[in-house]
Amino acid sequence: MNKEELTCFIKQRARELSFLDCGISRSGYLEKEALLLEDWLRKGYHGKMSYMENHFDKRLNPSLLVEGAKSVLSFSYNYYPQQLQNSDSYHIAKYAYGEDYHTVIREKLQQLVEEIREKTGEFSYRIFTDSAPVMERNWAQRAGLGWIGKNSLLLSKQKGSFFFLAEIICDLDLVYDSPFKTDHCGNCTRCIDSCPTQAIVEPRVVDANKCISYLTIELKDEIGKEFTEKMHNWIFGCDICQDVCPWNRFSFPTTEDKFQPNKELLQYTKKDWEELEEKTFQKLFKNSAIKRAKFLRLKKNIEMSKMKEE
């Protein structure tokens, strides 16, 4: 196979494996992004995620992750659910409705790698699913998958933003896509205006210290009392800046069975959440990303939302 044929094969198989898109960019140092990342860290916008300070160069140079890297393959995978939680319940981010995406997507990409290997023989690669220091949104934009919106997420005119991103960094020489250069956010500021904690401090810059997703998942300390009235019943993650985005009117339900929500979860009322016991938690979220927060943390988030109502 020449590189044109191999590129076509990869993209065709990605579609057959149910990925929304697959784009390919040339590996190289992210010089512009380095300055932005340095400024973001200097301002302390990463909160207490100290790991964001680690492996600075690896985040910007794929060759430090895969020796001799030539290509960064970017993939998007739809997770928008067919059904949503009751509006009067406590909320969890839609990406956590089903099984843990790390496992589901990695398995698909590993299958793709095996099929590529059958065509090319051995090659060097690594698969990434939000699991290592990779600037995934920047690579996805370079691969033509969309643009980075004012909420700092990757947006697509045809598909919105309710999708996961993943990458294969490898030493294969492939045909490269053109970067997505047009910003289709225009003058819209709905995501900035709708964020109850004002976490989007400027277009494409999020202060994690104020972000509900960070506060309910990443932060190990108690959530500050100044946020008590601003959590809007979110107990694991937050989708507000995506829900208000006009481009998400084009979101459509995923066909991935493993991302479909547990019917019991959809029926949960606030009372059910408040009475949740650890045994039920372990059963209900056995293969879910929610287990990352652990039972006691989830209960604390619920208690905080409950305090607001009282």
Q: In angstroms, how far is CA 8 from the centroid of its own chain?
A: 26
Quick one: pLDDT at residue 75? 98
130 as an active site residue: the answer is yes
Beta bridge partners of 77: 164
Active-site annotation holder among 21, 88, 130, 272 = 130
| HEC letters along 87-142 | CCCCEECHHHCCCCHHHHHHHHHHHHHHHHHHHHCCCCEEEECCCCCCCHHHHHHH
Q: Residues 51-66: what's their mean pLDDT?
A: 92
Residue 305: pLDDT band (50, 70, 90) is: confident
Count CA within 13 A, CB hemisphere, residue 166.
26
The DSSP line for 10-59 is: HHHHHHHTT-SEEEEEE----HHHHHHHHHHHHTTTTTT-GGGGTTHHHH
| Enclosing H/E stretch for 72 | strand 71-78
What is the chain's mean pLDDT, rounded? 94
pLDDT at 308 over 80: no
Give me 44's structure tokens. Answer: 């302390």
Quick one: pLDDT at residue 263? 86
DSSP SS3 for 73: strand
The DSSP line for 153-194 is: SEEBTTTBS-EEEEEEEES---PPPPP------TT--HHHHH
Neighbours of 214 (CB within 10 A): 23
Residue 26: pLDDT band (50, 70, 90) is: very high
pLDDT at 39 over 90: yes
pLDDT at 298 over 90: yes
- C-alpha closest to that of 291 among 59, 132, 101: 101
Give me 128's structure tokens. Answer: 């990434």
Annotated domain spans of the chain: 3-87+95-170, 190-249+262-309
| pLDDT tens-digit readout, 124-179 | 999 999 877 899 999 999 999 999 999 999 999 999 999 999 999 999 999 999 99
Beta bridge partners of 147: 155
Q: Max alpha carbon distance in the chain (Å)?
A: 66
| pLDDT tens-digit readout, 227-256 | 988 999 999 999 999 999 999 999 999 999
Residue 307: pLDDT band (50, 70, 90) is: confident
pLDDT at 309 over 80: no
With beta carbons less than 8 A apart as the criterion, state whether 166 and 23 touch.
no
Q: Residues 54-76: what's their mean pLDDT?
A: 95
Q: Residues 98-111: what's their mean pLDDT?
A: 96
Q: Residues 267-271: what's their mean pLDDT?
A: 93
Angle at 253 between CA 131 and CA 140, to 5 degrees: 40
